[in-house]
Amino acid sequence: MSKPAKSSARIAEKPGGKGAAKSGGKAAGAGKAAASKKPTPKTGSKAPKSKGPDRARTVEIFRRFTALNPEPKGELEHVNAYTLLVAVVLSAQATDAGVNKATRALFKVADTPQKMLTLGEDQVREYVKTIGLFRTKAKNVIALSEKLIAEHGGAVPADRDALTALPGVGRKTANVVLNMAFGQKTMAVDTHVFRVANRLGLSAGKNPEAVEADLMRVVPDDCLLHAHHWLILHGRYTCLARKPRCGNCVIAELCTSGDKVIE
């Protein structure tokens, strides 16, 4: 999204009045006349207001994503809302593939909060020790399981505030769970979504919350349910951070990013 230009409007003052118009007029008269004149702003110099991303282009971007992959799926393996929540908590600063490798065995023995508590923090830590920050994450898994049992009867709540009140659960994690487990139109902004949204001009946000707000506003409503998956997958496999694969990009001619690679 282009930033609005700074206004070039300046206040113009007409030098002098009747006293100055006469040849040889006194300087005091000229000053007095000038002071009586009200400043007159230049016309036609207001900066244009930003209109945001082109609507037709945005619609076409998501039409192509839809045609390419009508039902995109998240890549974290899970068997229910609880295991999805745990998987997303474990995925912070880790790859989905790495998380899946650890949770396949874990979820076979603990796919409910009560089973996770029975397993215990030490054993959970052993299952997830190949994942970064595994000690803190194992502690959070046990703590959120306890809170689910104590406050929600062991069920995962379909409410963002209730989810973010759980240990280890932030807004992005809550949005993923609300979207995938409960079919809500949310926008989980990870590093891929952040990068792709800015490259495509769908947002100029400088933080995940700003990008989320922009995307919720500009993405066509009938595409919102799957939008964050399309953007994640596009960023993960095509619009890479260092070497974007523009030659394989389904929306290449719609992209005006300075990072675009012309082949």
> What are the residue numbers of the active site?
172, 190
Task: Quote helix, strand, coil % in the chain, to nearest 5.
Answer: 55, 0, 45
Rounded to the nearest 10 degrees, the angle between the axes of helix 191-199 and helix 224-237 is 90
Q: Is 9 in a helix, a strand, or coil?
A: coil
Residues in the chain, overall count: 263
Pairing of strands 11-12, 40-41: antiparallel
Residues facing 41 on adjacent strands: 11
- Residue 27: in which H helix or E strand, if any? helix 27-36
Query: Of 71, 88, 83, 82, nearest to 176 (Cα)?
Result: 88
Q: Which H helix or E strand runs over 90?
A: helix 81-90
Q: For tokens 């994640």, name the residue.
A: 232
Outline where 156-223 has alpha helix (H). Answer: 160-164, 171-182, 191-199, 208-218
Alpha carbons 232 and 75: distance in angstroms, whole number: 10
